[in-house]
Amino acid sequence: MNYLVTGAAGFIGSNLIDRLLDGGHSVLGVDNFSTGREEFLRSALSSGRFRLRRLDLLYDSLLPFMDDIDIVVHFAANADVRFGPDHPTKDLEQNTIVTARVLEAVRQAGVKRVAFASTGSVYGESPVVPTPEDAPFPVQTSLYGASKLAAEGMICAYAEAFDITAFIFRFVSILGERYTHGHVFDFYQQLSEHNDVVHVLGDGSQRKSYLYVQDCVDAILLVLQCTDSKVNIFNLGTDEYCDVNQSLSWICEYLNVKPRRVYSGGNRGWIGDSPVIFLDCSSIRSLGWRPLLSIREGIIRTVKFLDANRWVCSRATNEPSIKTRSASQR
């Protein structure tokens, strides 16, 4: 199959691409390299079945790149939840409007399958925990969640209107190799700079579920292979959770440090942070999938990755050194 993957140089996108190439598929990867890392595509670029295009999907159309594409996997996004209120239109532009533009290209090209990276944040602060896909109509608490909800809605409406099969994945936070932001990253970065003190957003009691990236990719590939309703929505998470304090303890134990913990206070790390993210994953489990790594193992693997790839923590530029051709140079 011919895949087009947006957000190709991102954490989840690049891991998915490696697995697709391993599976014998061809992949056209697209990224604007605003947060994506060329290094994550080193292996993919050595494959004869991978092509890469640097495009900014807010301005560049995907349409010229749709020839022979069987499925568009739209994983490009502003994945930063925390700083939403600092730039209130960024989520709208990067997540909602970019998704609309991707959908228009899909429709115009006649592509019939679209997969989308959504988030457990669309549930806001759900009264039902663990939260199933058909939880009560949520009230949004973050601009990020709202922008992903908007994208989901458009994808479903396009599926209805234009005979497209849609796959929507609502992720918990994903951990593992090529992880570049989130609480493990923050803690690791702090402890690299000073191992005597660590600052914790909130009171550390926020309960979160984390999923290891290869388990996440397993689930995505399984769904794409064996479901074909008009709209297929799956929570992807684990059946366990930890709180931020526990997670920090595992990180400190692995790094063999004993920092003093300074809390910003409150049961939310930031505006729009949900004190509990714990998804009911019985739908994806009913397909036979289960995660192979525990949250603790996922966290340790993430710290190992960061420890072995310190450059991830000290990025100076968004420019890729590997030459990619822009749309105008095709």
Which range touches a copy of itself (CB under 8 A), out of 23-31, 135-143, 189-197, 314-322?
Answer: 135-143
- C-beta of 151 vs 306, nearer to a copy of itself: 151
3-state secondary structure of 276: strand
Assign 3-class secondary structure to 222-257.
HHHHHCCCCEEEEEECCCCCEEHHHHHHHHHHHHCC
Which of 199, 232, 204, 238 is closest to 218 using CA atoms? Answer: 238
134 makes contact with a copy of itself (CB under 8 A): yes
64 makes contact with a copy of itself (CB under 8 A): no
The whole-angstrom separation of Cα 5 and Cα 43 is 16
Candidate residues 56, 162, 185, 245; the one interacting with a copy of itself per rule CB under 8 A: 162
Residue 73: exposure state from Cβ atoms within 10 A (0-12, 13-18, ≥19): buried
The whole-angstrom separation of Cα 206 and Cα 276 is 6
Candidate residues 63, 92, 257, 327; the one interacting with a copy of itself per rule CB under 8 A: 92
CB of 171 to a copy of itself, least distance (A): 16
200 makes contact with a copy of itself (CB under 8 A): no
Residue 110: exposure state from Cβ atoms within 10 A (0-12, 13-18, ≥19): exposed
Candidate residues 11, 65, 75, 158; the one interacting with a copy of itself per rule CB under 8 A: 158
292 makes contact with a copy of itself (CB under 8 A): no
Which of 230, 71, 70, 227 is closest to 160 using CA atoms? Answer: 230
The whole-angstrom separation of Cα 142 and Cα 135 is 18
Cα dihedral sign, 241-244-246-251: positive
Site for a copy of itself in 226-245 (CB under 8 A): 231, 233
Site for a copy of itself in 252-271 (CB under 8 A): 271
- Among 3, 123, 144, 241, the active-site one is 144
142 makes contact with a copy of itself (CB under 8 A): yes
120 makes contact with a copy of itself (CB under 8 A): no
Candidate residues 15, 94, 140, 302; the one interacting with a copy of itself per rule CB under 8 A: 140
CA 167 to chain CA centroid, nearest Å: 14
Q: List Cβ neighbours of 24 (8 Å cut-off, separation of 6 or more).
A: 49
Q: Where do we find the tokens 């489990």?
A: 285
Total residues binding a copy of itself (CB under 8 A): 42
Candidate residues 133, 186, 203, 243; the one interacting with a copy of itself per rule CB under 8 A: 133
Q: How many CB atoms lie within 10 A of CB 263?
A: 15
Candidate residues 2, 39, 47, 100; the one interacting with a copy of itself per rule CB under 8 A: 100
Q: Where do we find the tokens 């896909």?
A: 133
Is 241 a catalytic site residue? no
Candidate residues 20, 28, 97, 281; the one interacting with a copy of itself per rule CB under 8 A: 97
Candidate residues 153, 292, 307, 325; the one interacting with a copy of itself per rule CB under 8 A: 153
Which range touches a copy of itself (CB under 8 A), out of 155-163, 200-208, 291-299, 321-329?
Answer: 155-163
63 makes contact with a copy of itself (CB under 8 A): no
Q: Where along the sequence are the contacts to a copy of itself (CB under 8 A)?
A: 84-85, 88-89, 92, 96-97, 100, 103-104, 107, 123-124, 133-143, 145-147, 149-150, 152-154, 156-158, 160-162, 231, 233, 271-272
| Catalytic residue list | 144
